[in-house]
């Protein structure tokens, strides 16, 4: 997901422009010259200006310096550990979307499925994706949701949806 400065800069120009336009179209505050439109317009126009500067490559030299520093620190550390970057397929980069996808999964199913099963699926997938063996991932997927649920229910008094798996005998609703 590393984009060129030109792409990020121009998308910021577009975003800033849209924000300023959206602000400009807002209804004014009755009886006042200034209202809710001022701030989005100021911010949007400045953002578009910044975007144009980024696309033009202004300030690039600062980044090179910081990157050189970081590279120096992390280069040897990475050289020690066997980097898994050797077998990059086209889809490998998409792994990065697993955590947000799991959160969306939670958003859509937690009320129907209940907290424990949803959380178990999340922990299982995340753990396997990070390279855990089933021997670790499965017990973790069973225990972690139970512990989290008990903490929230007993200590913080936040009931989580029980859905299809109510467990009244261990104190969960």
Residues numbered 121 to 140 that lie near other proteins (CB under 8 A) are 122-124, 126-132, 136-137, 140
Q: Is 59 in the site for other proteins (CB under 8 A)?
A: yes
State how far the Cα of 31 lies from the Cα of 28, in Å rounded to an integer.
9
Among 14, 71, 150, 158, binds other proteins (CB under 8 A): 158
Give burial (CB, 10 Å; 0-12/13-18/19+) of 4.
Answer: exposed
Q: Is 91 in the site for other proteins (CB under 8 A)?
A: no
State how far the Cα of 121 lies from the Cα of 105, in Å rounded to an integer.
9
In the complex, least distance from residue 144 CB atom to other proteins, rounded to whole angstroms: 5
**SS3 label, residue 75:** helix
Q: Is 113 in the site for other proteins (CB under 8 A)?
A: no
Q: Is 163 in the site for other proteins (CB under 8 A)?
A: no
Site for other proteins in 8-37 (CB under 8 A): 8, 12, 15-16, 19, 22-23, 26-27, 29, 32-36
Q: Is 148 in the site for other proteins (CB under 8 A)?
A: yes
How many distinct helices (H) and strands (E) make up the chain?
Answer: 6, 0
Query: Phi/psi class of residue 47: alpha, beta or left (left: φ > 0; alpha: ψ in -120 to 50)?
Result: alpha
Number of residues that bind other proteins (CB under 8 A): 90
């Amino acid at each position: 997901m590393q984009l060129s400065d030109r792409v990020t800069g121009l998308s910021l120009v577009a975003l800033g422009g849209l924000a300023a336009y959206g602000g400009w179209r807002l209804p004014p505050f009755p009886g006042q010259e200034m209202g809710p439109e001022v701030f989005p317009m100021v911010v949007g126009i400045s953002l578009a200006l910044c975007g144009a500067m980024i696309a033009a490559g202004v300030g690039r030299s600062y980044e090179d310096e910081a990157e050189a520093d970081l590279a120096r620190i992390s280069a040897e550390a990475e050289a020690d550990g066997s980097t898994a970057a050797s077998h990059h397929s086209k889809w490998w980069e998409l792994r990065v979307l697993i955590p947000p996808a799991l959160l969306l999964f939670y958003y859509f199913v937690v009320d129907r499925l209940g907290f424990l099963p949803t959380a178990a699926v999340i922990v299982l997938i995340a753990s396997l994706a990070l390279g855990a063996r089933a021997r670790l991932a499965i017990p973790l997927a069973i225990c972690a949701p139970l512990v989290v649920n008990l903490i929230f229910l007993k200590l913080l008094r936040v009931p989580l949806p029980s859905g299809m798996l109510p467990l009244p005998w261990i104190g969960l609703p």
